Amino acid sequence: MTFYDEWLGHWDRAELERQRSRKAIHAEELEWLETRQDSQVALVIAQETGFRTWGSETILSKIEPGEKTGCHRHGEEAIYIVEGEGFSVVNGVRYDWKTGSSMAIPFGATHQHFNTGDTTATYLSVMSVRLEAFCGLHFTEQLEDHGKIARIPDVEISADGFDQAGRRIRLHIEDAPDLGGGKAQAAGLVDVPEVSEDNPIVVGDLVGMEKLFQVHKAELLEFMRIGKDRNGFQVHEQEISGILVDPPYERGGKHAHMEAHLYVLDGEGYSIVGDDKVPWKKGTGLVIPGPQTPHQHVNESAVPARMLRIASGIRYFFEKAAKEEWPYLYLQVREGATTS
């Protein structure tokens, strides 16, 4: 077999891997471990848990009251505080956080997390370890192991969430703008586009998709975007884009794009991903595979479904490069859903 014969087989092998890979993982399936960095940590979406991803990993970590994580440095990281309150010290500056806060740790920044609340703090973290390793760029340097808080670090406290270089490190959820269309559509201020699976809209890029947010989700709380100065974040490798919200018994818009990851904060239902029906509930992590898999999320519960949307930087690189082969498509606007 020549190298060219191998090239000819790459697509079929990738399709087979996508078919065989895991589609979702639920909270009760997570394997909790202790590492030098965290007293309790579990891989959610990763190669080790059966997913085929484009080189990024999503993990969940817990910090008990009065405890701290280890101190370390590595590649870029995006963080969402699922619950709890405390602070992080990033490059010698303190950033306070609480439930719903999002954070971006710059590449190579020294950082450590402290739980100063009365309950267990849980945070979701996204990194691109395998992609960095493939490129020969990854390092993890452990500077201190996890343990009890002996004293509160005497460091500068950031009042606005920005670092000295002008980059946002932390954003509280109440400061995140809502790009969704629930209120506007209810008031009759939104023109619903003529769109169907036989007449899709080629979105083209994120700016084009933003024009459809009003009819795509009832709410879309935006945190950070790769390559765009959103809320002052400057991220490159991965983003926790924000929170997608579907009302009770409603289905979101149907669309197709490059790979994305989702983590369910509230609600219960299922997603139609290609030909697969993928059930989810609070605490589920799921992957929408690339390069262009039509998908739609259906909330079957009596509470709003809230999902963290996660994307890797390599997605946007290929989205631009391959847009003629695999355009970003919008196929159907959101609507009321009947349970099934």
Express each pLDDT in 183-229 by its tens digit: 555 545 556 678 888 888 888 665 666 667 778 888 889 999 998 88
Question: What confidence score (pLDDT) does residue 238 get?
Answer: 95
- Give Cα 208 to chain centroid, integer Å: 20
Which residues lie below 8 Å from residue 154, measured CB to CB, with a gap of 6+? none
Secondary structure element (H or E) that encloses residue 12, with its range: helix 3-20
Phi, psi of 9 (to 5 degrees): -95, -5
Least confident of 165-169, 192-196, 211-215, 336-340: 336-340
pLDDT at 228: 86
pLDDT number for residue 190: 57
The confidence score (pLDDT) of residue 191 equals 65
- In angstroms, the CA 304 to CA 178 distance is 15
Contact (Cβ atoms closer than 8 angstroms) between residue 217 and residue 244: yes
* C-alpha count within 13 angstroms, C-beta hemisphere, residue 55: 18
Checking if the pLDDT of 23 tops 90, the result is yes
The pLDDT score that the predictor gives to residue 339 is: 38
Beta strands at 268-273 and 295-299: parallel, antiparallel or unpaired: antiparallel
Q: Are 146 and 68 in contact (CB under 8 A)?
A: yes
Q: Which is nearest to 280 in space by CA: 291, 296, 258?
A: 296
Lowest mean pLDDT among 170-184, 255-269, 302-316: 170-184
Number of H helices, E strands in the chain: 6, 28
Q: Residues 105, 225, 52, CA angle at the centre, nearest 5°?
A: 80
- Distance separating the N- and C-terminal Cα atoms of the chain: 49
pLDDT average, residue stretch 170-179: 94
Across the range 150-164, mean pLDDT stands at: 96
Cβ atoms of 37 and 113 closer than 8 Å = no
How far is residue 70's CA from residue 113's CA, in Å, rounded to a whole number? 8
For range 79-87, the mean pLDDT: 98
13 pLDDT above the threshold of 90? yes
CA distance 283 to 22: 16
Average pLDDT over residues 247-274: 96
| Reported confidence tier of residue 181, pLDDT bands at 50, 70, 90 | low
Per the DSSP assignment, residues forming a β-bridge with 299 are: 269
CB of 309 closer than 8 Å to CB of 264: no
Q: How confident is the model at residue 340 (pLDDT cuts 50, 70, 90)?
A: very low
Residue 194, pLDDT score: 81
Find, among 262, 332, 321, the residue nearest to 291 by Cα: 321
Q: How far apart are CA 245 and CA 243, in angstroms?
A: 6
Which pLDDT score is estimated for 185? 53
Q: Which residue has the tokens 């405890």?
A: 67
Which domains are present in the chain? 31-174 (2.60.120.10), 177-336 (2.60.120.10)
